[in-house]
Amino acid sequence: MTPEQTVIPKPSRRADTAYLDFIEGIREFVLNEQDGLDHDIDELFSALEQRRGKPYSTFEEVAEIMDRTAVGPLRNRLMRTQQEMQWRRIIETFESQRADLEAELDSYDKRGPGEVLWDPDFETPEYANVHFHLQPGGYHKDPLAGYHYHYSTKVFFRGLNDSDAVHKGAAAPTPVPADGKVARVLDLGCSLGQSTTALKQKFPQASIWGIDHSAPMVRYAHKRAVDLDVDVSFAQRLAEDNGFPDQHFDLVYSMILFHEIPTRIAKQVLAEVARVLRPGGLFVVHDFVSSKNSTPLQLYHREYDCRYNGEPYAKEFCRSDFPAMVDEAGLKLQRAIGDGYGFMNTWWVER
Amino acid sequence: MGRALSNDPQVIDDYDNQTPEGGVPLAGADPVLLDDPATDALMRMVTELTAELWVERDRRMVLEDVLIDAGVIRPETLENYVPQGARGERFAAERQALVQSVFKELRRIVATASAESS
């Protein structure tokens, strides 16, 4: 199988595929940048700002208008409902395959290329006991969580990431250390391993590890990589305590990890990165933008995600001073790059 | 290994058993986002109904394409069809399942009120 092919799990019934396709349609209805509901809301605020002669500068001003016009509650109700419907149907459709899928994971545990290390007695930290994005049981409680999460991300990306295009696009411009050496790479909070396999495509000669706190995720990531015939390995380990030797890696990478962990842990992760990166090694971080670079309307949507979509730490991360935390960990910020839309930032950090 | 999550009431309760370390308080399993729980329920019903409508329309489009491609039916055969006997009963059962699915919110509201009053 080539890396361009998709390995997304298949729902049990055509009716489930259609139902989840409908959820994708709802997301498209709300999020389409050219003519979605959120685009209409952007236009509404542009018109209101034009009328009053100055932009809204605070979250509170925007929230008051969203509430008064009922636009906000209705939009948020629809987003919450589609998310609940999505998880319910995803879990239902894979339930009838449970025995086969669990046996499949057992079988793939022993196959290569690459390996997967996980511990049935692993203690999940309390801070990770969250139903992230409303996924029942979060990333770690259901052995099939990887299958569930993979299908949900298909819906989330509205089909645009079926062959990992988003992760490949993010990994492609990954810089190399000044001496050009990239022999060992670590992907933090790898979940499905899509960045991990994308990094292998970018650095085919490198030994690449993906780590995650969730056993179901690393097991599924390994299965997915084996299906794609990509030689990468996975381990159930914490980003803040990864167990690799000092100065072991040339490159460490994280894709949308930091906004899902408390600031206290983020600082520990940066210290751990400083420990496992060799001198001159690079840490590449993709994550949400800081609050100070967000519009009040973007902050309103972020507030929804935090409170109603199971992302309790996202606001904390966006309000933190990430470059200062990098500095505090003894690392050096090389470059900060925005995505141009105000959603994502990339930081290149050097040890 | 593990336990099934989909039909396990514990999972829903589990929304209250999350242990985020500070951060924004999570809304819990059943937040009210509109003026009252009834309006929230109506919005859920409309969304669920539209999903069911699409699922059915998708199935019908698949079936019609497959059957027409196979030369089994002509489009006008569909327009003149009336289900009889056991087939008619199956149609009625399917209809009732649809109503249950779309209007389950009402029963959930009753169940919630019952739980609160007991």
A120 contacts in chain B (CB < 8 Å): 1
Phi and psi torsions of B10, nearest 5°: -60, -30
Contact criterion met (CB < 8 Å) for B5 and A88: no
Mean pLDDT, residues A230-259 taken together: 97
Place of tokens 């545990």: A109
Chain A partners within 8 Å of B5 (Cβ): 91, 136-137, 141-142
Separation in Å, CA of B49 to nearest CA in chain A: 11
CA distance A12 to chain B (A): 14
pLDDT at A83: 95
Domain A1-351 fold is Rossmann fold (3.40.50)
Whole-model pTM: value is 0.88
Residues B12-68: pLDDT tens digits?
A: 456 667 888 877 888 877 889 998 888 999 999 999 999 999 999 999 999 999 999
The ipTM value here is 0.75
| Burial of B113: CB neighbours in 10 Å, binned 0-12, 13-18, 19+ | exposed
Averaged over B106-114, what is the pLDDT? 73
The tens digit of pLDDT for each residue in A102-120 reads 999 999 999 999 999 999 9
Question: Nearest by CB to A312, which of B6, B26, B62?
Answer: B26
Closest Cβ opposite residue B51 in set A14, A19, A126: A19
Helix (DSSP H) and strand (DSSP E) numbers for chain A:
13, 8
User: What is the spatial distance between Cα A41 and Cα A26, in angstroms, rounded to a whole number?
Assistant: 16
- Domain residues of chain A, as ranges? 1-351
φ/ψ of residue A338, rounded to 5: -90, 160
Distances (CA, A) of A70 to A67, A208, A220, A267: 5, 49, 41, 39
- Nearest CA of chain B to the CA of A250: how many Å? 32
Partner B, chain A 247-266, Cβ-Cβ below 8 Å? 262, 264-265
Size of interface A-B (CB pairs under 8 A): 125
Q: Which of A22, A144, A311 sits opposite B54 (nearest CB)?
A: A22
Q: Which residues in chain A have their CB less than 8 angstroms from residue B23's CB?
A: 262, 306, 312-313, 315-316
Taking CB atoms and an 8 Å limit, are B14 and A136 in contact across chains?
Answer: yes
For residue A212, the SS3 value is strand
Whole-number pLDDT of residue A5: 63
Mean pLDDT, residues A230-256: 98
Contact flag A88-B6 (C-beta cutoff 8 Å): yes
The 3-class SS string of chain B reads CCCCCCCCHHHHHHHHHCCCCCCCCCCCCCCCCCCCHHHHHHHHHHHHHHHHHHHHHHHHHHHHHHHHHCCCCCHHHHHCCCCCHHHHHHHHHHHHHHHHHHHHHHHHHHHHHHHHHC
